[in-house]
């Protein structure tokens, strides 16, 4: 029977006796429910409630896996409307341009598997595309490649655990559609940042049932101690601007979208429309969606695409706005991981560091600084020092790890790591926009040859630069983010905006050449070194005890850096120590084309890694005396045990 709880939920709620349907549609006087049986619809009138804003009905004997749609009559024609709260979607039986919803009964055997609950400071994010990452992995059964279930197969779990990542960040997995301009070019929105149903896992990632298969995937990853966070798009929908298609909100409640002074949709997302979360029904829809993913799929957190949009009131950003306050007080959402892409393209759209307490933020300043330092002969030494120390000019160490930087070198948008060291220019001709799309400021370097080459000296330098960038990332303060395809040394052929390339441009090859094998093994070892050696420093330098530690910036001869040195020097030595006599780390960096000899002042340093080497000795670290030489374009990390450990 219907219950009060059921009546408060929008969309379709299956009970033991039938199904309750509800939709928010204040702009429509009369709306009907259509239930499809063998493509023949049965129509049901819906009753007005809540002052006419809510339309609802209860249909007995409706079970799960029933197709349905909402509709209204306009000038004698039927306008089909997709349930915006749909939990599963399928092709509309009567209208090829539309999708229909499918009822879902929320039940699943989680087998008492608990969430891993990885601490923020222990988190290592591994970003991947649910289809693309495993599509060419021939060690997987063919029917699982590119599917949700492929991600929890023992072959993939072995890869994740061997790599040492704690948290998978899945690129958008909610149902999305292709934009019109892509259809005309016979391309597809591979990345999925064009959502049409926020709550429905996309069918393209499933063998049969996307809901059950995604839940199974999350359960099995959790069983192995691996978290799952979703990249979510609540800043716009696939309805685009005024001339764009109508799927739901445009007809149901146009106030979902932010409007300008001329009555036109504001386009702060670059996608034609902008969700207005100062509109209470829009805020409710987003919050209901977030809770659904957490409660029914046990999702561990979210990365919010263009998150500045979510805090907008008109043209202004408010980090104390309704969206943030609602999450803060919500018992379901307040304890999960929240990651912001802290900008959009609207006015006052760059908000790095301005999100509320409890949010992690993707740090593009880190990305650009690290790229410039290693590719341009030590450019920006002072900012390099700031970024690897956790960007404390933006994220105070007093509140780490509750609010801290997500550090990254590469993300899904932009060059892969392999292309970052192999291409001077973007090569996006395959996207059909005359190479006009994609970021123009890549801070990349081809090291003498554009693209692939057999020149072994160029290849060796590229491999060393990859190691420099990843070693810097993994021994920086903050939460590291790795692009999963980088662990396979994947190249997109210089395409830095492969959003529409559902092909080998985006699918990494798993049969690796020797250089890729060496790099994969090396990266796994450095992640292990981070956990063993860097994590105690991250904890010691966070919060109230941060001022009790030692930090020294040194020149090659061992003298402290003076203010004028930050403009003239290119090499650097960072000495950090826990307390007054605890363990120490020394990070040496030489981004120049000349060798650099460093005076260490103290003896008995253990060499953890030297990027001149493509492998790491896992048996016993090499002991280094008071001098260490770096070859051109290389770095080293050394460790010294404190007095307390020596006395044990």
Pairing assessment for the beta strands 167-170 and 337-340 based on DSSP bridges: unpaired
Exposed e or buried b for every residue in 394-429, given b needs 16+ CB within 10 A? Answer: bbebeebbebbbbbbbbbbebbbbbbbbbbeebbbe
Residue 622's CB is within 10 A of a number of other CB atoms, namely 11
H helices of 330-452, in order, are 364-375, 381-388, 417-420
DSSP one-letter string for 184-205: HTT---SS--SEEEEEEE-GGG
What is the SS3 assignment for 215? Answer: helix
| 64 annotated active-site | no
| Helix (H) or strand (E) segment spanning residue 220 | helix 210-223
What is the SS3 assignment for 417? Answer: helix
Using alpha carbons, list the distances in angstroms from residue 403 to 158, 359, 399, 615.
31, 5, 6, 34
- Cβ-proximal residues to 172 (8 Å cutoff; 6+ apart), any chain: 191, 192, 193, 195, 230, 231, 232, 233, 305
Cβ atoms of residues 297 and 214 within 8 Å: yes
Q: Using CA atoms, how far apart are residues 170 and 149, in angstroms rounded to an integer? A: 13
Looking at the chain, the number of H-run helices and the number of E-run strands are: 16, 30
Beta bridge pairs of residue 14: 19
What is the SS3 assignment for 512? Answer: coil
Q: Using CA atoms, how far apart are residues 406 and 121, in angstroms rounded to an integer? A: 11
The catalytic position among 231, 341, 344, 463 is 341
| 341 annotated active-site | yes
With DSSP H G I counted as helix, E B as strand and the rest as coil, what are the percentages for the chain, rounded to 5? 30, 25, 50
Using alpha carbons, list the distances in angstroms from residue 24 to 55, 73, 83, 184.
6, 17, 10, 33
For the chain, the distance separating the N- and C-terminal CA atoms, rounded to the nearest angstrom, is 68
DSSP 561: P
Q: Which of 362, 408, 396, 400 is nearest to 537 (CA)?
A: 400
Cβ atoms of residues 362 and 341 within 8 Å: yes
Using alpha carbons, list the distances in angstroms from residue 442 to 29, 230, 474.
52, 26, 21
Cβ burial of 245 (10 Å; 0-12, 13-18, 19+) is middle
What is the SS3 assignment for 93? Answer: coil
Cβ atoms of residues 585 and 575 within 8 Å: yes
Task: Indicate if the alpha-carbon torsion angle 240, 243, 248, 251 is positive or negative.
Answer: positive
Residue 645's CB is within 10 A of a number of other CB atoms, namely 11
- Cα-only R_g, the chain: 26
The catalytic position among 213, 305, 361, 502 is 305
Q: Using CA atoms, how far apart are residues 19 and 233, in angstroms rounded to an integer? A: 28
> Which sequence positions are flagged as catalytic?
305, 341
């Amino acid at each position: 029977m219907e219950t009060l709880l059921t009546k408060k939920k929008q969309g379709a709620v299956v009970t033991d006796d039938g199904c309750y349907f509800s939709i928010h549609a204040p702009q429509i006087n009369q709306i009907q429910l259509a239930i499809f049986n063998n493509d023949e619809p049965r129509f049901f009138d819906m009753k007005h409630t809540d002052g006419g804003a809510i339309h609802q009905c209860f249909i007995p004997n409706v079970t799960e896996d029933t197709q349905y749609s909402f509709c209204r009559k306009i000038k004698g024609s039927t306008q089909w409307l997709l349930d915006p709260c749909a939990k599963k979607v399928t092709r509309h039986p009567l209208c090829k341009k539309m999708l229909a919803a499918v009822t879902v009964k929320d039940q699943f055997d989680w087998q008492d598997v608990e969430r891993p609950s990885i601490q923020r400071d222990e988190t290592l994010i591994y970003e991947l595309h649910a289809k693309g990452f495993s599509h060419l992995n021939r060690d997987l059964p063919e029917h699982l490649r590119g599917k949700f279930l492929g991600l929890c197969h023992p072959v993939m779990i072995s890869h994740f655990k061997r790599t040492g990542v704690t948290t998978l960040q899945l690129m958008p997995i909610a149902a999305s559609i292709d934009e019109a301009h892509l259809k005309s070019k016979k391309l597809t929105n591979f990345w999925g940042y064009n959502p049409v149903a926020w709550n429905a896992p996309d069918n393209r990632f499933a063998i049969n049932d996307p809901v059950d298969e995604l839940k199974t995937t999350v359960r099995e990853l959790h069983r192995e101690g691996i978290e799952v966070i979703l990249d979510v798009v609540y800043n716009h929908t696939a309805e685009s601007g005024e001339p764009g298609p109508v799927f739901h909100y445009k007809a149901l409640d146009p106030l979902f979208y932010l409007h300008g002074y001329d009555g036109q949709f504001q386009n702060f997302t670059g996608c034609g429309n902008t969700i207005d979360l100062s509109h209470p029904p829009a805020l409710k829809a987003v919050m209901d969606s977030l809770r659904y993913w957490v409660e029914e799929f046990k999702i561990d957190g979210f990365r919010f695409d263009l998150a500045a949009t979510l805090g907008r009131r008109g043209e202004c950003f408010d980090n104390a706005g309704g969206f943030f306050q609602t999450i803060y007080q919500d018992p379901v959402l307040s304890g999960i991981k929240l990651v912001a892409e802290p900008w959009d393209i609207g006015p006052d759209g760059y908000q790095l560091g301005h999100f509320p307490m409890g949010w992690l933020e993707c740090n593009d300043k880190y990305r650009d600084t690290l790229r410039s330092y290693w590719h341009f002969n030590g450019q920006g030494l002072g900012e390099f020092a700031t970024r690897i120390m956790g960007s404390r000019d933006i994220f105070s160490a007093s509140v780490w790890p509750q609010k801290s930087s997500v550090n990254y070198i590469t993300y899904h948008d932009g060059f892969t790591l392999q292309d970052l060291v192999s291409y001077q220019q973007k090569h996006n001709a395959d996207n059909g926009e005359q190479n006009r799309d994609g970021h123009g400021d890549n801070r990349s370097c081809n090291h003498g040859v554009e693209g692939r080459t057999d020149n072994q000296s160029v290849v060796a330098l590229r491999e060393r630069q990859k190691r420099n960038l990843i070693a810097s990332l993994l021994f920086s303060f903050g939460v590291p983010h790795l692009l999963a395809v980088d662990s396979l040394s994947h190249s997109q052929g210089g395409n830095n905006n492969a959003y529409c390339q559902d092909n080998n441009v985006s699918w990494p090859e798993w049969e690796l050449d020797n250089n890729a094998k060496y790099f994969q093994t090396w990266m796994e070892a450095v992640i292990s070194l981070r956990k063993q050696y860097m994590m105690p420093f991250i904890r010691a330098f966070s919060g109230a005890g941060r001022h009790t530690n030692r930090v020294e910036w040194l020149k090659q001869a061992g003298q402290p850096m003076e203010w004028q040195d930050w403009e003239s020097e290119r090499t650097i030595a960072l000495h950090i120590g826990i307390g007054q006599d605890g363990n120490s780390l020394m990070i040496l960096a030489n981004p120049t084309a000349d060798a650099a000899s460093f005076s260490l002042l103290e003896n008995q340093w253990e060499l953890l890694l030297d990027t001149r080497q493509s492998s790491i000795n896992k048996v016993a670290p090499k002991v280094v005396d008071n001098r260490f030489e770096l070859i051109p374009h290389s770095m080293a990390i050394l460790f010294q045990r404190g007095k307390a450990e020596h006395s044990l």
